Structure 1
Amino acid sequence: MLEQIREPLLAWYRENKRQLPWREEPTPYHVWVSEIMLQQTRVEAVKEYYTRFLQALPEVKDLAQCPEEQLLKLWEGLGYYNRVRNMQKAAIEIVEKYGGVMPADYEKILALPGIGSYTAGAVSSIAYGIPRPAVDGNVLRVITRITENPEDILKQSTKKKVETALQEIMLEDCPGDFNQSLMELGATVCVPNGMAKCEQCPVAQMCQAHAHKTVLEYPKKTPKKQRKIEERTVLVIQNGQEFAISRRPPKGLLAGLYELPNREGYLSEEEILSYVKDLHLLPLHIREAGEAKHIFSHVEWRMKGYFIKVAATEEKKVGSLIFVDRKESRGKYPIPSAFSAYRKFIEEDF
Structure 2
Amino acid sequence: MSTFSAKLVRWQRQNGRNNLPWQSSDPYKVWLSEIMLQQTQVATVLGYYPRFLEKFPTVQDLANAPEDEVLNLWAGLGYYSRARNLHKAAKQVADRFGGVFPHTRRELETLCGVGRSTAAAISAFAFKQRETILDGNVKRVLCRVFAQDGDPADKKFENRLWQLAESLMPSENADMPAYTQGLMDLGATVCKRTKPLCGGCPMADMCEANAQGRTAELPRKKAAAKVQTLPLYWLVLRNRDGAVWLEKRPPKGIWGGLWCVPCFEDSATLYRTAEQFGVFSDGLSEAAEFTHRLTHRLLLITPLCGLADTDRPSEKDGGVFSDGLWVARDKLADFGLPKPLAEFLAER
Question: In 2 relative to 1, CA 272–150 (structure 1 residues): closer, same or farther, beyond 3 Å?
Answer: same
- Give the aligned partner of residue 156 of structure 2: 157
Per-residue CA distance 1:327-347 (angstroms, 9 max, x = gap): 22222x21223xx1x433422
Question: In 2 relative to 1, CA 316–70 (structure 1 residues): closer, same or farther, beyond 3 Å?
Answer: farther
Whether 1:336 aligns to 2:338 is yes
Unaligned runs of 5+ in 1: none
- Give the aligned partner of residue 210 of structure 1: 210
Residue 299 of structure 1, aligned match among 284, 297, 300: 297
Taking only aligned residues, the RMSD between alpha carbons, in angstroms, comes to 2.4
Aligned partners of 1:75 and 1:344: how far apart in 2? 15
Aligned partners of 2:96 and 2:287: how far apart in 1? 54
**Preserved CA contact (<8 Å) 2:279 2:306:** no
Whether 1:70 aligns to 2:72 is no
**Preserved CA contact (<8 Å) 1:12 1:202:** yes
Question: In 2 relative to 1, CA 273–115 (structure 1 residues): closer, same or farther, beyond 3 Å?
Answer: closer
- Give the residue type in structure 2 aligned to 1:305: P
**Preserved CA contact (<8 Å) 2:235 2:274:** no
Report the Cα offset of residue 316 of structure 1: 5.2
**Preserved CA contact (<8 Å) 1:145 1:207:** yes
**Preserved CA contact (<8 Å) 2:228 2:297:** yes
Whether 1:262 aligns to 2:263 is yes
- Give the aligned partner of residue 243 of structure 1: 244
- Give the aligned partner of residue 231 of structure 2: 231
**Preserved CA contact (<8 Å) 2:121 2:180:** yes
- Give the aligned partner of residue 325 of structure 1: 328
- Give the aligned partner of residue 12 of structure 2: 13
- Give the aligned partner of residue 281 of structure 1: 279
- Give the aligned partner of residue 101 of structure 2: 102
Q: Which stretch of the first structure deviates more once superposed, 39-48 or 93-102?
A: 93-102
Question: In 2 relative to 1, CA 285–85 (structure 1 residues): closer, same or farther, beyond 3 Å?
Answer: closer
Question: In 2 relative to 1, CA 123–345 (structure 1 residues): closer, same or farther, beyond 3 Å?
Answer: closer
Aligned partners of 2:30 and 2:314: how far apart in 1? 44
1:233 aligned counterpart, secondary structure: strand
- Give the aligned partner of residue 61 of structure 1: 60
Report the Cα offset of residue 317 of structure 1: 5.2
Unaligned runs of 5+ in 2: 316-320
Report the Cα offset of residue 41 of structure 1: 1.0
Aligned partners of 2:76 and 2:102: how far apart in 1? 30
Residue 307 of structure 2, aligned match among 310, 314, 317: 310
* TM value normalised by structure 2: 0.88
1:335 aligned counterpart, secondary structure: coil
Question: In 2 relative to 1, CA 107–345 (structure 1 residues): closer, same or farther, beyond 3 Å?
Answer: closer
Aligned partners of 2:312 and 2:346: how far apart in 1? 19
2:289 aligned counterpart, secondary structure: strand
Aligned partners of 1:325 and 1:62: how far apart in 2? 28
Per-residue CA distance 1:99-125 (angstroms, 9 max, x = gap): 211112222112222211111110000
Q: Which stretch of the first structure deviates more once superposed, 93-102 or 25-34?
A: 93-102
Report the Cα offset of residue 178 of structure 1: 0.5
User: How many residue pairs were aligned?
Assistant: 336
Per-residue CA distance 1:140-182 (angstroms, 9 max, x = gap): 0011011111112333433332222222221123112111101
Aligned partners of 1:279 and 1:89: how far apart in 2? 36
Report the Cα offset of residue 3 of structure 1: 2.8
- Give the residue type in structure 2 aligned to 1:324: V
Per-residue CA distance 1:11-42 (angstroms, 9 max, x = gap): 2211222221101x331111111011001111
Q: Which has the higher strand share?
A: 1
Report the Cα offset of residue 274 of structure 1: 6.7
